[in-house]
Amino acid sequence: MKRFIVSCVAAMALSAPLLSHAAEPPASGPVVVEVASSIHNINVMGKSKPAMPPDVHIPVKRNIVRGYVRDSQGHPLRGAIIGVRSSAIGSAYSGASAKTDAKGYYEVRAPWGAASFYCAGYTVDYGDGIAAMGLCPADGEAEGFATANGAVKNWVLLPYGVADPAGMQDNPKYSGNYFGGTVIIGYSIDADSGNPSSKALPAKSRIELTFTPTSPMIDGRKGRTIVVRRTVGEEWDPSLYLNNIPVAEYRISAKLVDGGPLRMRETGMYRDTAFGLDPKEATGEATFLLKSYGAKPGMVTAAHGHWQEMQITLERP
């Protein structure tokens, strides 16, 4: 696999209850997000939109689904998998898929009936391994169609962006609604602040998390440093979901504002799967890689992200 220079669709970022957006930063400036204790979900990239390559127009062929998968420069992406399934009667489905060739072209003869895309994925080099990523329809839509009429659908690879604006509004915590990654931040609160040996965070204190890119984003462009500051609640504080983190490699640091560094521990049932924090427990800073659901492109839901929520627990050292 190669790290391709890719980018794509103008992904819309809509507001939702308890959803916060970063202010649009300069192209080379940091993304800074200030979060109140009442906010529990944020889209770190806000309304920022990746670049869109020029579209490719090809004629429709009856009974055929076809198109191109490309990077932001219009270069083809070989080995992407596009899957189509059709239903002719009730809920009985038949499916077919194709892999893109050296020109990034795919062609599927879908079974007869009402059809939809069930898979659109591509595998990239990431860290010391590989990860499958979701592909975004170039026109922003992955609507169904009648296979007898045929269809043309081009796809592009996003380093970040909102995959499903309506889904994000209904469920802003769901990682599949974003092409960027999701991190869940949790901690306990020392409401009395009277125990100097407590590892819980002081009530009304402020935490600061900084994601500093150590590689270009997956589209080859220079990534932005992301700074998230959040006010700690007084007694009980639900986890904070950081959504839509651009796909890159990072150093992550955590500290109390006007205080010292915090210990980070990767927690949750997926702690020991590929990627995440390195080391799994660290004070001050660590290497950070987004958590992938896997490396098989045929398992990626069409027009959805494929990054798994990873959990980081903060505590005083």
Residue 44 has pLDDT above 80, yes or no: yes
For 200-257, write each residue's pLDDT tens digit.
Answer: 999 999 999 999 999 999 888 899 999 999 999 988 888 999 999 999 999 999 999 9
The whole-number pLDDT of residue 134 equals 96
**Mean pLDDT of the chain, nearest integer:** 87
The whole-number pLDDT of residue 219 equals 85
- Confidence bin at 77 (pLDDT 50/70/90): very high
Residue 52 has pLDDT above 50, yes or no: yes
Residue 161 has pLDDT above 50, yes or no: yes
For residues 115 and 85, is the Cβ–Cβ distance under 8 A? yes
Residue 300 has pLDDT above 80, yes or no: yes
Angstrom distance (rounded) from CA 270 to CA 261 = 25
The whole-number pLDDT of residue 47 equals 85
Least confident of 3-17, 131-145, 240-254, 275-289: 3-17
Q: Above pLDDT 70, what percent of the chain? A: 87
The whole-number pLDDT of residue 244 equals 97
Highest mean pLDDT, choosing among 6-20, 32-46, 80-94, 136-150:
32-46
> Has this prediction a pTM greater than 0.75?
yes
For residues 44 and 185, is the Cβ–Cβ distance under 8 A? no
Domains of the chain, each with CATH number or no CATH: 19-49+162-315 (no CATH), 65-157 (2.60.40)
- Confidence bin at 195 (pLDDT 50/70/90): low
What radius of gyration, in Å, describes the C-alpha atoms of the chain?
A: 21
- Confidence bin at 68 (pLDDT 50/70/90): very high
- Confidence bin at 111 (pLDDT 50/70/90): confident
For residues 265 and 312, is the Cβ–Cβ distance under 8 A? yes
Angstrom distance (rounded) from CA 11 to CA 47 = 8
- Confidence bin at 18 (pLDDT 50/70/90): very low
Mean pLDDT of 14-35: 58
The whole-number pLDDT of residue 88 equals 63
- Confidence bin at 89 (pLDDT 50/70/90): low
Residue 24 has pLDDT above 90, yes or no: no
Mean pLDDT of 41-65: 90
- The C-alpha angle with vertex 231 and arms to 251 and 165, in degrees rounded to 5, equals 70
Residue 265 has pLDDT above 70, yes or no: yes
